[in-house]
Amino acid sequence: MRKFTLLIFICLVQFSFAQRKGYWQQKVDYKMEIDMKESSYQYDGKMKLKYTNNSGQSLNKVYFHLYFNAFQPGSMMDYRLRNISDPDKRMVTNIGTKENPKLISRITELKPDQIGYQKITSLKQNGTDVNYKVDGTILEVTLAKPIKSGKTAIFDMVWNAQVPEQIRRSGRNSKDGVEFSMAQWYPKMAEFDPEGWHLDEYVGREFFAPFGNFDVTININKDYVIGASGQLQNPNNVKGYVTNPTIKENNGKVSWNFKATNIHDFVFAADKNFVVDHGKSKHGVDIYLVYKNDKSGSSWKEAMPYALGFFDYNSEHFGEYPWKTYSIIEGGDGGMEYGTATLISGNRNLESLVGTIFHEAAHSWYQQLFGINETYNEWFDEGFTSYVEQMALLNVYEKLKVIPSNPNPDAYRGYIALALSGKEEPASLLADYYNTNYGYSLEAYYKGQVLAIQLGYIIGNENLEKTFLKFYDIWKFKHPSGNDFKRVAEEVSGINLKWYFNLFLNTTRKIDYAVDNVSNNTVTIANKSDFAMPIDVLVEYTDGTKELFYIPLREMRGEKPAENLVEYQGAKRTVLEDWFWTKPTYDFKVSKDIKEVSIDPTKRLADVNPENNVFTK
């Protein structure tokens, strides 16, 4: 009997926490070996890919991404650059003047020996040749035999590739002189999930792929040092990782072997001038800083303590970092996150380097550990990562003892500028389809971050912290949607959040509340917008005392608990009757003479017109 009740209890607890019943995901296991031809910036590759179909249906086709093919004149990425009004500066050349710029796509200008490509020369499914065709950056494979649900297929692929001039993220000879920045360098199995196949061409935005294990061997000239995803298996036989290694070379080449478990994006970079620093965090993560031993990498020598502090802080507040290693590698053209690694460009001061490390390493949660669909949930990926980065900067870098109620007012300023710019598009739009890079960037990084901070305003900052940890427990190594995060927040707080996520993500509606009127002892608050929110109103009386009035929104079907925040200290808290969205104004009575009335002094409410939020007598 006891056992029985315990079992029921466990079931209730598990299913009440917002797990999707019948959830499934595909699995990939890559074993790859590549032979670098350094002087021509080409390589030969072969892979054995074990693909496991957990979908519940038979598959007649599979698809791969061939991302390097984007870096060819006439590609979708090229046309996008030629036609978007505000192209990424890294990807265009200005042939006009500073005052009268004339921007041309750098891809258009690439010569045959500078373009990128991945050319398949052989592809077999369980030993049988299969038919395939390539459209731009997508490889479509018609299977020899369907892969039944629950079954596995082995793909043997042989290909050769040319590493493009660096245009974006990956490529040869970065601005800082890193020779090989190798991201999206291998034919990558596309994601198939309950929404179907995700066959987005590489136009500019980020990635989405199934989880799996990687075993990667890179044969390269003996003078190179490599930084990569996962764990180096033969540090004693290669340059850079141990003192006095016994280099094992073969015709002037050395084999590097890396293994990574349960990631969905494998990166590496190689350069003759790389050096490697190693540190271990208190939580046991081996951190590698791999950087050029010249001016471009000079600030990296000082970055290790901050990187270690970041991983310890984050493991305590957002869930334990589950892998053994993290490599921070100089390369690329800014900062970009990959499985257990990042490529970060050089020539930056320590503050900029630490900020970028914190951002990219935070993606180990909101991208790598929760395999977010970045083809349209970029607010979840960049916004939540920016939130985690900011919390770590305040705690670890600035060592603040008291974290502000709103940890990032800058994100609010950015979002409000976007909301008032006329260039805002709904956050649920496909990431590549934004009309401007401006609209995409401010929405992804700022509006996404505001969504998280403002969620703290709705459910309380303590509930927000609990939500992050609970979400980690349920969704690590899976592909959660924004709705999955919302469901955890609802379960943790007991507050219904349907209205909030819908209006904030699927529309460009803006919030504007006002203190409409104060007469005698009655305060009138007005919703001047088409976006209803719960409202905190702090009233200061002429006798110097304060009272915090909390007006829940009826749709919440619950109330935010009292919060212990600096702005509310010493104030009595009074919970008022619910308000609801069909009613534009709300009155409440106070018992004493009013000196000042202010809506949300914590400034977590994303009110686009804060001027009318305070009344002073």
Q: Comparing C-alpha atoms, which of 417, 421, 355 is closest to residue 388? A: 355
Cα–Cα distance list, 249 to 34, 78, 180, 254, 259 (Å): 16, 40, 20, 5, 20
Q: How far is the CB of 355 from Zn ion (least distance, A)?
A: 12
Closer to Zn ion at the Cβ: 262 or 385? 385
Q: How far is the CB of 264 from Zn ion (least distance, A)?
A: 15
Q: How far is the CB of 556 from Zn ion (least distance, A)?
A: 31
Closer to Zn ion at the Cβ: 362 or 535? 362
Per-residue exposure over 327-346, b if at least 16 CB sit within 10 Å of its own CB, e if not: bbbbbbbebbbbbbbbbbbb
Residue 341 φ then ψ, to 5° = -160, 165
Span between the terminal Cα atoms of the chain, in Å: 66
**Cβ–Cβ under 8 Å, residues 49 and 189:** yes
Q: How far is the CB of 386 from Zn ion (least distance, A)?
A: 7
The two structure tokens encoding residue 380: 């979840």
Q: How far is the CB of 558 from Zn ion (least distance, A)?
A: 33
Residues 248 and 501: their CA atoms lie apart, in Å, by 56
Closer to Zn ion at the Cβ: 357 or 497? 357
Closer to Zn ion at the Cβ: 328 or 590? 328
Q: How far is the CB of 361 from Zn ion (least distance, A)?
A: 10
Q: How far is the CB of 297 from Zn ion (least distance, A)?
A: 21
Q: How far is the CB of 335 from Zn ion (least distance, A)?
A: 7
Q: How far is the CB of 158 from Zn ion (least distance, A)?
A: 34
Q: How far is the CB of 553 from Zn ion (least distance, A)?
A: 32
Q: How far is the CB of 382 from Zn ion (least distance, A)?
A: 5
User: What is the signed CA dihedral for 431, 435, 440, 443, rounded to 10 degrees?
Assistant: -110
- E strands, 252-293, are 253-263, 268-271, 274-280, 286-292
**Cβ–Cβ under 8 Å, residues 170 and 339:** no
Residues 106 and 265: their CA atoms lie apart, in Å, by 26
For Zn ion, the binding residues (CB under 5 A) are 382, 385
Edge-to-edge strand order for the sheet containing 546-551?
571-575, 546-551, 535-541, 594-599, 614-616
Residue by residue, DSSP assigns 6-72 as: HHHHHHHHHHHS-PPTT----EEEEEEEEEEEGGGTEEEEEEEEEEE--SSS-EEEEEEE-GGGGSS
| H-run or E-run covering 92 | strand 92-94
3-state secondary structure of 153: strand
Count of C-beta atoms within a 10 Å radius of residue 374: 20
Cβ-proximal residue to Zn ion, closest one: 382
Closer to Zn ion at the Cβ: 382 or 484? 382
Closer to Zn ion at the Cβ: 389 or 512? 389
Closer to Zn ion at the Cβ: 32 or 343? 343
Residues 482 and 184: their CA atoms lie apart, in Å, by 25
Closer to Zn ion at the Cβ: 271 or 382? 382
Return the sign of the alpha-carbon dihedral for residues 574, 576, 579, 583. Answer: negative
Closer to Zn ion at the Cβ: 224 or 387? 387
Q: How far is the CB of 381 from Zn ion (least distance, A)?
A: 7
The two structure tokens encoding residue 562: 């009292």
DSSP code at position 197: E
How many CA atoms are closer than 13 Å to the CA of 578, on its beta-carbon side? 10
